[in-house]
């Protein structure tokens, strides 16, 4: 029974406190801290993400009237604007990055059997980046162009569940392809990327790591056809070839054969040419894998629309990375909540309902499912019957 417990408190039941404390001790996050601990900081920032708070003052103003309830949720110190600002500026962002990885591993285990539209036994990842524009005068450490600042989120998501497995935060000047150097390869897995990541020396590193990649070929790529396989052109396939790269640097950086697949999209009539180092999967499956790459674009769109990662509560690099990693933790925490409580709603719908029921004293699943049912009934009540007797 959850009588007397707030929805927020029940959401936090899915936070592994022992693992969080290990992350804090690893970086001495609570060293010489008397009142406002790292967990208080995490709770305050998670509250801001779940309720769409605009600023540190907004967080303080909203939490101040709820002091009597905060202790039972987990807060052990009062929340003040200045205290939270200092914590974001000085406490190591890696505490929350490491904790996010713990939540990510837990979420991936929950979504391991989910389908993503492709019949594939191996793990499939999509890799891409998104740019968050900043004001240069406030964020001089993130200089992007002459009068502009920005940070990039280089993100690898597991296509089963759209769970972010790897996030690398850099300034806007770092080229996307350089983020491949930070990846820890999973042997046997597929890495799906757009053609902005074509660097044959790095692709060959993936090949030597016993992993597979799927990407799009550039139009000016020079190659020599070594072999071909028959294709069913009614499926959109035009060719399936084994090739070797031509050109001094390309052939030197990737000396092994590659597979080149030409595909025509039936909806847009767009010609797409894919490159992969996998020669065993059917050609149509390779095309379907690349199509699944759009999930990483949807992930970026989702977090920008539903979480606070475009407007920041602090201006230092540490404050920005702290906010980003706590936002990712909240995303994964909601994904865990959805799976473990068997909630038949989208993550966006769950966040919207949580934002207005966070301090209600009722069962969290009941608050989500009943709210959705009431909304549906209200919509049906306003809908006129098509067949009136």
Which residues have a Cβ under 8 Å from the Cβ of 364 and sit 6 or more positions away?
Answer: 2, 7, 10, 11, 337, 341
Distance CA 105, CA 94 (A): 17
- Per the structure block, which two tokens stand in for 162? 């759209």
Pick from 232-246, 333-347, 370-384: least confident: 370-384
Task: Specify whether the CB–CB gap between 163 and 97 falls below 8 A.
Answer: no
Report the DSSP pairing between strands 124-134 and 148-158. antiparallel
Q: Is 312:82 a contact under the CB 8 Å cutoff?
A: no
The residue that leads in pLDDT, 3 or 257, is 257
| pLDDT tens digits along 23-51 | 999 999 999 888 899 999 999 999 999 99
The bridge status of strand 212-216 relative to strand 190-192 is parallel
Q: What is the DSSP letter of 76?
A: -
136-146 tens-digit pLDDT: 999 999 989 88
Q: Which tens digit of pLDDT belongs to each residue from 159-188?
A: 999 999 999 999 999 999 999 999 999 999
pLDDT at residue 55 tops 60: yes
Q: 182, 135 in Cβ contact below 8 A?
A: no
pTM of the model: 0.89
* 303: nearest Cα among 144, 102, 160, 167: 167
At 4, is the pLDDT very low, low, confident or very high (cuts 50, 70, 90)? Answer: confident
Q: How confident is the model at residue 3 (pLDDT cuts 50, 70, 90)?
A: low
Instruction: Output the pLDDT for position 386.
Output: 40
Instruction: Give yes or no for a contact between 280 and 256, defined as CB atoms under 8 angstroms apart.
Output: no
| Coil vs helix vs strand at 10 | helix
């Amino acid at each position: 029974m959850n009588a007397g417990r707030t929805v927020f408190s029940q959401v936090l039941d899915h936070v592994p406190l022992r693992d969080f404390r290990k992350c804090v001790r690893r970086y001495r996050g609570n060293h010489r801290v008397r009142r406002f601990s790292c967990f208080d900081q995490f709770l305050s920032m998670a509250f801001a993400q779940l309720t769409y708070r605009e600023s540190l003052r907004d967080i303080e103003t909203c939490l101040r009237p709820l002091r009597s309830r905060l202790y039972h949720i987990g807060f052990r110190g009062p929340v003040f604007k200045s205290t939270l600002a200092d914590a974001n500026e000085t406490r190591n962002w890696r505490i929350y990055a490491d904790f996010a990885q713990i939540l990510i591993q837990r979420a991936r285990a929950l979504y391991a059997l989910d389908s993503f539209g492709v019949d594939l036994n191996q793990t499939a990842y999509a890799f891409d980046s998104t740019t968050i524009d900043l004001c240069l005068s406030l964020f001089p450490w993130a200089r992007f162009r002459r009068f502009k600042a920005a940070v990039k989120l280089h993100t690898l998501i597991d296509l089963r569940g759209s769970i972010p497995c790897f996030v690398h935060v850099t300034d806007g000047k770092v080229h996307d392809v350089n983020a491949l150097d930070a990846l820890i390869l999973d042997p046997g897995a597929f890495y799906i990327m757009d053609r902005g990541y074509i660097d044959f020396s790095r692709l060959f590193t993936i090949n030597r790591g016993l992993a597979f990649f799927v990407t799009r070929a550039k139009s000016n790529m020079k190659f020599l056809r070594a072999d071909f396989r028959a294709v069913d052109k009614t499926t959109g396939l035009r060719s399936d070839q084994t090739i070797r790269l031509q050109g001094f640097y390309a052939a030197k950086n990737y000396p092994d054969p590659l597979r080149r697949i030409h595909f025509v999209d039936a909806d847009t009539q767009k010609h797409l040419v894919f490159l992969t180092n996998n020669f065993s999967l059917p050609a149509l499956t390779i095309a379907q894998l690349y199509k699944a790459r759009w999930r990483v674009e949807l992930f970026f769109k989702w977090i920008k629309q539903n979480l606070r990662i475009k407007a920041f509560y602090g201006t230092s690099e540490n404050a920005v990375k702290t906010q980003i990693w706590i936002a990712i933790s909240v995303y994964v925490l909601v994904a865990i909540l959805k799976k473990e409580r068997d909630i038949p709603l989208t993550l966006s719908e769950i966040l919207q309902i949580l934002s207005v029921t966070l301090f209600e004293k009722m069962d969290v699943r009941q608050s989500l499912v009943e709210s959705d049912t009431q909304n549906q009934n209200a919509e049906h009540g306003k809908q006129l019957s098509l067949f009136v007797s």
